[in-house]
Amino acid sequence: MPARSDITYFGAGPALLPTDVLEKAAQALLDFNGTGLGIAEHSHRSELATSIINEAKVDLATYLDIPAADYEVLFMQGGGTGEFSASVYNLVGAWVARQHAAVLKDLGGSEAADEAAVVAALRAKVETDLKLDYIVTGGWSLKAYQEAVRLLGPEYVNLAADARLENGGKFGKIPDQASWKLSKDAALVYYCDNETVDGVEFPEFPSALAPKADGTGPIVVADMSSNILSRRIPVANHSLLFFGAQKNLGSTGVTVAVLKKTFLPPTITQPSPALMRRLGLPIPPIVLQYEIVAKNNSLYNTLSIFDVYVAGQVLKKLLSTFPNKVDGQQAVAEKKAEIIYSALEAHPDVYKIVPDKTARSRMNICFRVIKNGTTDESEKAFLEEATGLGLTGLKGHRSVGGIRASNYNSIPLEGAEKLAKLIEAFAKA
Ligand SMILES: Cc1ncc(COP(=O)(O)O)c(C=O)c1O
């Protein structure tokens, strides 16, 4: 039976958590801060629960330099998948709210405007102007795109870029930004910063989505589920970014949405369900409505305070380890990725790195073992040797096969070095 200290787990999520955080969390499950009650038993409406939420929000904002005056941090449930839907509902709602205000103005103000005329004008706008743009660079952004199509209908959803078209039908490249077919004034432009299954990461924020000099620009939504906390993000370029906790932040069960406050009251109030019904547009389940979650400080319904606590402890550890905050972790993440990719590159006859060099993920390193031209057998042998050395969780996603080393923040430098050594030794054997 291996001990925890014998294992370096490269699974794609849930991922390793720091052992000292788990030890503290285990104690907190039994007795939180001498209250005689475990943290999973305390009311989510207790004062201590509120301070756990508030501290985690502040620590996240500090670590990532999120301007607290401009962004709201929301703890939600439903995972990244829930956010595929939430982003559509809420940003289509915000689009309708903006159009509604414009139509009312055109028709002489809310007092003067005839309701039927307002609805007719809005319907016409929905038909001609409502568009959501998706940049599809891997399996997760594809799922987000498909969810938007499912919720709204294909006529409203624009596949602005599809990486498979430039890469022989497979993911592995980021299409040239000049080729992206972005809509005018889209309700959102969506991208996934790091594609966990395909090992594709944007090397930097896409310049095609940057705000203009006057500050206006597209409404950008980013899925950062699998690279959050591992590099600096130009937060101000985003209207919404979201991530599940279970890779770099904490335990499965909590999802974070960071939303620009201008999408919340008093600037924007979601349209009434009655209006959305008349426009034939979907109405969000109330737990996915950001306005409701924000108004209730993430406690509209029962939130797992234990999961927020674990995330908070991971953030405290990061803040105490890296005085220069996320920049410190970024340097480590880059070094670990470099060590592993260099080992693979040294043996092109044995390993084939799956994504194009320009889009290689630092977090999910995907490769095939092609030794002697027998990929299946070679990969099996590689995985067996890895397991023998305590390097586990390396099997690629079931949809693409191969090997995937998920190199999240909790993989220590020595873990990356051990994997690089195996890559080297296996190639030479
Ligand atoms: C990039 C990315 N987005 C979204 C998801 C979906 O997250 P969840 O399973 O929490 O719904 C995942 C899951 O691994 C992911 O890696």
Residue predicted with more confidence, 210 or 108:
210
Cα 34 vs. chain centroid, distance in angstroms?
35
Nearest CA to ligand 1 atom 16: 196
- Site to substitute for ligand 1 among 226, 252, 307, most atoms within 8 A of C-beta: 226
Confidence of residue 176 (pLDDT cuts 50, 70, 90): very high
Given a cut of 80, whether residue 112 has pLDDT beyond it is no
Average pLDDT for 218-227: 98
Rounded distance, CA 429 to CA 415, Å?
21
What six digits make up the tokens of 98?
A: 């903006």
Q: Counting atoms of ligand 1 from 1, which one is nearest the CA of 12?
A: 14
Rounded distance, CA 32 to CA 111, Å?
55
What six digits make up the tokens of 348?
A: 């092109």
**How much is the pLDDT for 241?**
98
Rounded distance, CA 186 to CA 220, Å?
9
Rounded distance, CA 98 to CA 376, Å?
54
**How much is the pLDDT for 147?**
98
**How much is the pLDDT for 108?**
87
Q: What are the pocket residues of ligand 1 if the criterion is a CB atom closer than 6 Å to any ligand atom?
A: 13, 79-81, 140, 192, 196, 223, 225-226, 244
Nearest CA to ligand 1 atom 7: 80
C-alpha of residue 142 to centroid of ligand 1, in Å: 12
What six digits make up the tokens of 43?
A: 């009311």
CB 32 within 8 A of CB 38: yes
Q: Read off the amino acid at residue 316.
A: K
Nearest CA to ligand 1 atom 10: 79
Confidence of residue 365 (pLDDT cuts 50, 70, 90): very high
**How much is the pLDDT for 60?**
98
| Cβ contacts of 185 within 8 Å, gap of 6 or more | 129, 131
Rounded distance, CA 285 to CA 115, Å?
26
Question: pLDDT averaged over the chain?
Answer: 97
Exposed e or buried b for every residue in 361-376, given b needs 16+ CB within 10 A?
A: bbbbbbbbbbbeeeee
Range in 44-53, 59-68, 110-119, 261-270 the model is least confident about: 110-119
Average pLDDT for 227-236: 98
- Site to substitute for ligand 1 among 140, 240, 251, most atoms within 8 A of C-beta: 140
Tokens 């693409």 appear where? Answer: 400
CB 354 within 8 A of CB 173: no
CB 297 within 8 A of CB 45: no
CB 242 within 8 A of CB 257: yes
Q: Counting atoms of ligand 1 from 1, which one is nearest the CA of 196?
A: 16
**How much is the pLDDT for 215?**
84
Confidence of residue 375 (pLDDT cuts 50, 70, 90): confident
CB 226 within 8 A of CB 245: no
Average pLDDT for 414-421: 98
C-alpha of residue 221 to centroid of ligand 1, in Å: 15
CB 138 within 8 A of CB 171: yes
Given a cut of 90, whether residue 113 has pLDDT beyond it is no
**How much is the pLDDT for 1?**
83
- Coil, strand or helix: which one is 201? strand
Average pLDDT for 391-416: 95
Rounded distance, CA 355 to CA 194, Å?
12
CB 248 within 8 A of CB 77: no
Backbone phi, psi, residue 414, to 5°: -65, -30
C-alpha of residue 244 to centroid of ligand 1, in Å: 7
CB 249 within 8 A of CB 59: no
Average pLDDT for 13-31: 97
Range in 345-354, 356-365, 394-403 the model is least confident about: 394-403
Given a cut of 80, whether residue 93 has pLDDT beyond it is yes
- Coil, strand or helix: which one is 155? helix
Tokens 């201008």 appear where? Answer: 262
What percentage of the chain carries pLDDT values higher than 90? 95
Q: Which 8-state DSSP code applies to residue 20?
A: H
Backbone phi, psi, residue 272, to 5°: -70, 150
What six digits make up the tokens of 267?
A: 């600037």
Rounded distance, CA 298 to CA 83, Å?
15
Given a cut of 90, whether residue 344 has pLDDT beyond it is yes
C-alpha of residue 83 to centroid of ligand 1, in Å: 9
**How much is the pLDDT for 110?**
78
pLDDT tens for each residue of 280-332: 999 999 999 999 999 999 999 999 999 999 999 999 999 999 999 999 999 99
| Cβ contacts of 192 within 8 Å, gap of 6 or more | 137, 138, 140, 141, 144, 222, 223, 225
What percentage of the chain carries pLDDT values higher than 70? 100
| Cβ contacts of 144 within 8 Å, gap of 6 or more | 84, 87, 134, 190, 192, 223
Around Cβ 25, how many Cβ atoms within 10 Å? 21
Rounded distance, CA 75 to CA 68, Å?
15
**How much is the pLDDT for 4?**
93
C-alpha of residue 81 to centroid of ligand 1, in Å: 6
